[in-house]
Structure 1
Amino acid sequence: MSLVIRTTTPDAWIAEIFSAKSALSGRVIRRNRAWVDREVGRARFVAEVRQRGFHLLETADQLIVVCHSGPIHMHF
């Protein structure tokens, strides 16, 4: 098992994720669930997504943030 060393603070990580071009342009960002848990914790991540009015989807080991507050329609 390898040791993971954090190189940023949780606040810096959140700022980096939500200032990415995809987030700023209303597209999608995707992160591995375990990575989110390790870097900032699930509760903090969910709170940050909710605070911005975005949508959060989870599939397999991925968390997908739809970076806009408009409606979401699942077609199948």
Structure 2
Amino acid sequence: MTDLPLPIRPEDWLRQLFLSRAAAQGGVIRRKTHDIERIVGRERFLAELDRRGFRAVENAGQTVIFCNCEPVRVVR
């Protein structure tokens, strides 16, 4: 399977992601890891997390982004 052309520019995708209601309220958002890597690239995404002071975790092909500066603790 070949990747289709990007439907959105990387900077627009990041802007939409971090202007979402959940992000603006310091909440949690989830995206497919493959989409992050395909649309914006891992390094650019991680740089944006660092710039904002956010954290993220990956599991089963999903990336969960914590849109705040609070510590993240894995419960179990």
TM-score by length of 1: 0.89
- 1:18 Cα deviation (Å)? 0.5
CA distance in 1, matches of 2:3, 2:51: 32
1:22 equivalent in structure 2: 22
Matched residue pairs, number? Answer: 76
Q: Which amino acid aligns with 1:72?
A: V
Q: 1:3 to 1:53 in 2, by over 3 A?
A: closer
CA RMSD of aligned residues (A): 1.3
- 1:41 Cα deviation (Å)? 0.5
Q: Does 1:67 align with 2:67?
A: yes
Instruction: Show structure 1 runs of 4+ deviating over 6 A.
Output: none
TM-score by length of 2: 0.89
Output one character per residue of 1:11-45: Cα deviation in whole Å (capped at 9) or x when no partner: 11110111011111111111111111110101111
Q: 1:70 to 1:3 in 2, by over 3 A?
A: closer
- 1:4 Cα deviation (Å)? 1.6
Superposed, which structure 2 residues align to 1:35-46 within 5 Å? 35-46=35-46
Give the % identical residues.
Answer: 34
- 1:74 Cα deviation (Å)? 1.9
- 1:2 Cα deviation (Å)? 5.7
